[in-house]
Amino acid sequence: MKKLLYSALLLVVQQLPMAQASPTGNLLVTKKISTGWQLRQVGKDQWYPATVPGTVNTDLLKNKLINDPFYGDEETKQQWIGDEAWEYRTTFTVDAATLNRESVELVFNGLDTYADVTLNGKAILQANNMFRTWRVDVKPLLKAGKNELVILFKSAYKEGLKELKQFPIQLVNDNDRGEFKTSVFTRKAQHHYGWDWGARFLTAGIWRPVELQAWDKVRIDNIQYKQKSQSSALAALDVVFNLTSTTTQKVKLSVAGVKGKVYATKEVSLQKGENSITIPIAISNPKLWWPNGLGDAYLYKLTAGVKAADSKSVSNTQSIGIRTVEVVQQPDAKGKSFMFKVNGVPVFMKGANYIPSDHFLPRVDSMHYAKLIKQAKNANMNMLRIWGGGVYENDLFYNECDRQGILVWQDFMFACSFYPWNESYLNNITEEFRQNVIRLRNHPSIAMWCGNNEVREAWYHWGYQKVYKWSAADSAAIWHGYLKIFEETIPNVLKAEDNSRYYWPSSPYYGWGSPKSLTEGDSHYWGVWWGMEPFETYEKKVPRFASEYGFQAVPSAKTLEEFIPRSEWSTSSPIFKVHQKNARGFETIDTYLKRDLPEPKSFDDYIYLSQVLQGDGITLAIEAHRRSMPYCMGSLYWQLNDCWPVVSWSSIDYRLRPKALQYMAKHAFAPQLVSFADNGDDLSIYLVNDHTKAQKGTLSCRLYNLSGKELWSNGRSATVDASASAKVLTLAKSKLLSYGDSTSLVLVTRFNGVEAAHYLAKTKWLKLEKPDFSITLGADRQGQFLTVTARNVVKNLFIDSKYDLELSQNFFDVMPGASVKVRIGCKNKITLKDIATKSMYDCMTR
């Protein structure tokens, strides 16, 4: 009998759908099981207090059993944690009223990863997927009063190793830092096993909430809002109620907005079991949801309700946006376009790739998400790509993207590897896909689905067939597995659960070694960095949509001080190297530094120069992409953020401190841009316009020497069309150089309040003079601000403080006679004594 009960419970776990948001109402009682948890290492007697949601690592840290995993070389000392099994336990009380409900279920929203769950000594669940929610009917096992819940987490590495040894073909993930490459067999964040920017911490734990849900009559499994049509007068939607009923019954369904607005009601008959019922609604004169820079990201708060015959009810409230998003791939003379249209308007996508914000995910709270996405918005971004080696993000992340107008390119969780295709694995991931598509599909920010990161690229260009000596039969089987997952299983789930969005099987479709990578599809161009090509290559290798490219920089000195002793601030330090995961990282940075910038005289110089180097290189790419509109219609650099303190490609470090790139990207992604293209003998000036209306104005050009003297000027009218780029002026370099040596000249252009400067020599050769500038501190209703006024050229002015300042700009140039206002956000009131500055000149002289 026990075996029969156990099998039945597992069957329920596998088949029940996952709700997108926690419903409310008197038909449902939800109890969070978040207190009283304890943790122990299996085989040990001692129990310790635990936090849920949480991880083993963070619980060990809170109990002072380990040091901060991110400090110094602690990563190397704490690998044993991932090899052990860990046990969590708690007790919770259940009253008679709860037990009298028709159905009582335990809902595990996230278990990382291999977990055996028992309730009151009875096995109820074996989980094996970090990305799934698990729902178990526990009414037969509960008792009035105290109930004990125990969760045993097995070692993800050891469980994966069992799968590896049984699998007939060697599958690989070169980013996996383990002795055996087991990550592909485990449905767990792939970066937990190590990456070229990430530590290896094989976490375990209850990483998302556990709930007890007791309900009568009917349960809302999920609500789907399907947009059928959209015009200025009317938006028509189908609201799909997916419900589970305990019996045949009549209920009243309703869809309501705010302030008592009722869009529709309908009486329906439910059958016992699963039901799917559609109610059409219409929204008059709809306010559209627009991405950042094009309008308001307007959200409608809608409540879908179910009322039973006894007037008891349950409801689900979500915010939706009225918008259309299309991906246009239209053949042309050079290949095929890759362009997003939002509400019928072509939009150049500006942004970055996003990775998990912490290796220990439960530490990321709503304030962190809000701040990070606000930083992206303030940098004029309108899209983030959620990379496939992390996780399907928390609802808080997507809610912020909805609210702040940031579109999301959503990968499924596969990256840079080949994955199993046996029946049990396919069944597991199919449910994973279904649950996460259902959870995310109502978010207006989700622009598209993408099957994986660089798996197709790995197959065609990374030479694994030869390296791992796969036979022809093995290769055919692996490719069959690829097609099974990315060309069959995912599309089938999307067809059933969300056919409203574009699906792209793999990013990129063609790798940077293929000529097609520049003429169709999206591109990951890594000739710069991996190929050691100069930054100027970005101006020649312009794709249709740049979804990855990047360069490393060292994080803020404040961030380093938290995690690495100053005595170890050296690229040769073994401890510092723990925080540089790319084998050739420092070598590559040094190579580019020697090409373009002065030699650092101190490690503080190295931090500053590496950040300027990264910012200069990546903004060169951004501007090349934007100048090439409409041929190129997207630029997403790698990467926005970090999951731990590390030298990486991020523009914002682990502590959310912006690097130079974050500030420079704000300028390069501005709605209007003045940009220079150096063609060798001449210099072309482009205007780029993201606005939906043409822009007219006066283009002024002034040539200065670096001491601040104006040598030449020119002004003319100029026009750039809506959502377009236009070359408006070409100047012969010989004319400019007739006024002086290239190392002492800068050309400054202005158009409608937008300014850009172009130096006629690389920064390392510039004959910069000692900066002559002043800084004043002011305040208005918006807060404090600095005003920087220069009398000669000040290059890459870095404003710093002992406080963490949120600055409107930094690492900027100030031209002769110009003033730059810098707004300050800070918890403390700032005085000028709190401000320190550094410029490129300071790195050139001692």
With a CB cutoff of 8 Å and minimum separation 6, the contacts of 467 are none
CATH code: domain 2-213 is 2.60.120.260
By CB atoms closer than 10 A (0-12, 13-18, 19+), residue 22 is middle
**DSSP secondary-structure letter at 394?**
P
Q: Predicted confidence band at 799 (pLDDT cuts at 50, 70, 90)?
A: very high
CA–CA separation, 7 and 61 (whole Å): 38
Question: So what's the pLDDT on residue 22?
Answer: 62
Residues 297/402, Cβ–Cβ less than 8 Å: yes
Residue 519 CB coordination number (10 Å)? 18
514 — pLDDT class (breaks 50, 70, 90): confident
How many Å apart are CA 741 and CA 760, to the nearest integer? 9
**60-116 confidence digits (pLDDT tens):** 999 999 999 999 999 999 999 999 999 999 999 999 999 999 999 999 999 999 999
- CATH class, domain 770-846, is mainly beta
pLDDT recorded at residue 11: 35
Sorted by where each begins, the domain ranges of the chain are 2-213, 217-320, 325-672, 770-846
* pLDDT over 70, % of the chain: 97
In 3D, which of 671, 683, 680 has the Cα closest to residue 629? 671
Confidence tier at 18 by pLDDT (50, 70, 90)? very low
Q: Do domains 2-213 and 325-672 have the same CATH topology?
A: no
**Other Cβ atoms closer than 10 A to 316:** 21
Residue 16 has pLDDT above 80, yes or no: no
Give the pLDDT band (50/70/90) at residue 9. Answer: very low
Mean pLDDT (the chain) is 96
- Tokens matching residue 663: 């500030």
What's the pLDDT at 17? 43
Predicted TM-score of the model (pTM): 0.95
Nearest to 288 by CA among 277, 274, 301, 299: 299
* pLDDT for position 15: 43
Q: Are 648 and 561 in contact (CB under 8 A)?
A: no
pLDDT in tens, 820-831: 999 999 988 999
HSE (side-chain half, CA atoms, 13 Å) at 414: 27
The 10s digit of each residue's pLDDT in 283-309 is 999 999 999 999 999 999 999 999 999
Which tokens belong to 787? 């005003």
The model's pLDDT over 313-346, given as tens digits with 9 standing for 90+, comes to 999 999 999 999 999 999 999 999 999 999 999 9
Cα separation, 676 vs 747, whole angstroms: 10
Res. 21: pLDDT tops 90: no
pLDDT band at 172 (very low <50, low <70, confident <90, very high): confident
Neighbouring-strand partners of residue 242: 222, 276
Q: Which two tokens stand for residue 673?
A: 């841009």
Q: How far apart are the C-alpha atoms of 363 and 86, rounded to whole Å? A: 20
pLDDT band at residue 224 under the 50/70/90 scheme: very high
Per-residue pLDDT reduced to its tens digit, 522-578: 999 999 999 999 999 999 999 999 999 999 999 999 999 999 999 999 999 999 999
Residue 522's pLDDT is what?
Answer: 98
Distance CA 505, CA 503 (A): 6
CA distance 235 to 368: 34
The residue whose two tokens read 């044993």 is: 80
Q: Is the pLDDT of residue 155 over 90?
A: yes
pLDDT of residue 386: 99
Superfamily grouping for domain 217-320:
Immunoglobulins (2.60.40.10)
Distances (CA, A) of 293 to 116, 320, 402, 625: 48, 19, 14, 18
What secondary structure does DSSP assign to 215-228, as a single string? E-SEEEEEEEEEEE
CATH code for the domain defined by 325-672: 3.20.20.80
pLDDT of residue 5: 37
pLDDT for the residue numbered 118: 99
Helices (H), ranges, 669-806:
733-737
The CB density around residue 717, as the number of other CB atoms within 10 Å, is 9
Within its chain, how far is the Cα of 112 from the centroid? Answer: 20
Distance, in Å, from the CA atom of 391 to the CA atom of 267, rounded to the nearest integer, reads: 39
Question: Which pLDDT value is given to residue 513?
Answer: 80
Those residues whose C-beta lies under 8 Å from the C-beta of residue 438, and which sit 6 or more positions away, are: 17, 18, 20, 222, 224, 497
Q: Is the pLDDT of residue 1 over 80?
A: no
